[in-house]
Amino acid sequence: MFHRGFATHNERPRRPGGWRMQPYPHFTAACEVAFDARPAMADELLAVQTSFLRRMLGLNTRSMLVVLYSETGLWSLKYRRVALGLRYLLYVLEKRPALPYAAPAEVRALALEGQPS
Cβ-based neighbours of 98, under 8 Å, separated by 6 or more: none
All residues at 6 or more sequence positions from 78 whose CB lies less than 8 Å from its CB, including other chains = 39, 42, 46
Nearest to 14 by CA among 1, 30, 26, 28: 1
- What confidence tens digit (pLDDT) does each residue in 78-93 have? 888 888 888 887 887 7
Residue 69: domain span? 33-113
Q: Tell me the three state secondary structure of residue 16.
A: coil
Within a domain: 78:
yes
- The fraction of the chain above a pLDDT of 70, given in percent, is 66
Q: Is 21 part of any domain?
A: no
In a domain, 8, yes or no: no
User: What is the rounded CA–CA span in Å between residue 54 and residue 61?
Assistant: 7
Residue 25 lies in a domain: no
Q: How many domains does the chain have?
A: 1
Whether 26 is covered by a domain: the verdict is: no
pTM: 0.54
Q: What is the pLDDT of residue 26?
A: 44
User: Is residue 99 in some structural domain?
Assistant: yes
Task: Determine the residue type at 65.
Answer: L
Segment 7-39, tens digit of pLDDT: 445 555 555 544 444 444 444 455 556 666 567
Is residue 5 assigned to a domain? no
